[in-house]
Amino acid sequence: MLLYHAVMADPPAWIAEFTVTPGQFAAQLDAVVAAGRTPVTVGALADHFAGRAVLPARPVVLTFDDGFADLPGPTADALAARGLCATAYLTTGALAPGGRSLLPPAPMMTLDRAPALERYGIEIGGHTVSHPQLDTLAPRALRRELADSKAALEDVLGHRVAHLAYPHGYNSAAVRRAARAAGYETAVAVRHALSSRSDDAYRIARLIVRRGHTAADVEAWMAGTGARTAPYRDSAATVGWRLYRRARAAVRGPVFAG
């Protein structure tokens, strides 16, 4: 499962590390197609985890976080030209007029373009309202981020939204329980790892695509190499970093996840 953010030639500095150029993106999509993988949405994974359907032999999931301005235009066109579906996780507060968001300024799509993404074959999921570090929030604030984002998307789409992406992958057992309680069927993290058929439905691993990654990196991932495979336990460093961030948030308040 690949995680993209923006596809643009001149991104703002804060998102540049997680941005690929249109040329890079085209070459990476061509590598996915050449690998013979079958593109599926996260919804198909949900059906697999719930025992409702069987995945194809060699699936691949392409995901996009936040909702940058390129998504409902050239990025969706590039996917459609190759017959590739995807799942996009939208940060509602950054896309709605007058919305509240911790995301720094950047060219973003508007929330009313979400139905157009679905017409391209792009599934829509939630990515919270303001993009905080969810594992540092108090229970009430956590529930609000998950529920309000879901409601805003369902209002504009006119149907249930069942999938969630944790901002920057930050999650914990409490966050995963809250995601389930909010009505999400799946939730994706980051983990910098290959997912598997036995992955945790509320902590599905994704490989984050950075500006330095090439088509050769994608080819390796499509071959099942170049990264470890989930599920696996959090490292001591991950647990320690979470404790530090919680202590910092208790003093400073909610912090941008990025």
Nearest Cα to Cα of residue 92 among 143, 175, 153, 167: 153
Note whether 245 and 135 are within 8 A (CB).
yes
What per-residue confidence (pLDDT) applies to 150?
98
107: tokens are 């060219």
Q: What is the pTM of this model?
A: 0.94
Inter-helix orientation angle 173-181/139-157, to 10°: 40
What per-residue confidence (pLDDT) applies to 15?
97
Nearest Cα to Cα of residue 209 among 15, 14, 9: 15
In sequence order, the β-bridge partners of residue 63 are 3, 87
Nearest Cα to Cα of residue 5 among 190, 217, 204, 194: 190
Note whether 203 and 176 are within 8 A (CB).
yes
Sequence-separated (6 or more) residues with CB below 8 Å from residue 108: 66, 67, 68, 69, 94, 95
Reduce the DSSP state of residue 232 to 3 states and report it. Answer: coil
Inter-helix orientation angle 22-34/215-222, to 10°: 30
pLDDT < 70 positions in the chain: none
- Give the end-to-end CA distance of the chain in Å, rounded to a whole number: 19
Torsion angle of C-alpha atoms 223, 27, 75, 101, degrees rounded to 10:
70
Q: Each residue of 148-207: pLDDT tens digit? A: 999 999 999 999 999 999 999 999 999 999 999 999 999 999 988 999 888 999 999 999
